[in-house]
Amino acid sequence: MKGWTQEQLAEASSLHYSYIGGVEPGERNISLETLEKIVTAFQVPSAELFRDELLQDEDERERQQVIDEHMTLINSRSTADIRMITKINNDILNAIDSK
C-alpha cells in the first residue's frame, strides 16, 4: 500500500513481522484490534484497505490517489487546523465555481 516491506509495517504497527507475513496472503485470521493497528500504522482511512481498485478505471484510480494524498496531509492535523483547511478549500471552490 505504501511500498513498505512487511518488516516496516510490523514495526509501525507494533506487530511481529512473521504475523504480518501470514496476514498478507490470508493465512492468518485478523482481529479488529490488529486491523486497527495496521490502519493506524498506514495512516489511511480504513476503507482504503478494502477498496477494490480492479473495479475502477484509470481516471477513478488517479482521482482516488489524489484524494488519499489530501487525507494523508490532514490526517495528523488538529481539528482546528482541519476546520481552517476546510474553510479555505470552500473559499477556493466557490471562487472556481463563480467563474
User: What pLDDT, on a 0 to 100 scale, did the predictor assign at position 54?
Assistant: 59
Burial class of residue 30 in the structure, from the number of CB atoms within 10 Å of its CB (0-12 exposed, 13-18 middle, 19+ buried): middle
User: What pLDDT, on a 0 to 100 scale, did the predictor assign at position 97?
Assistant: 95
pLDDT tens-digit map of 8-35: 999 999 999 899 888 878 888 888 898 8
Q: Which of 12-16, 43-47, 82-86 has the lowest mean pLDDT?
A: 43-47
User: pTM for this structure?
Assistant: 0.50
The answer on pLDDT for 86 being more than 70 is: yes
The answer on pLDDT for 53 being more than 70 is: no
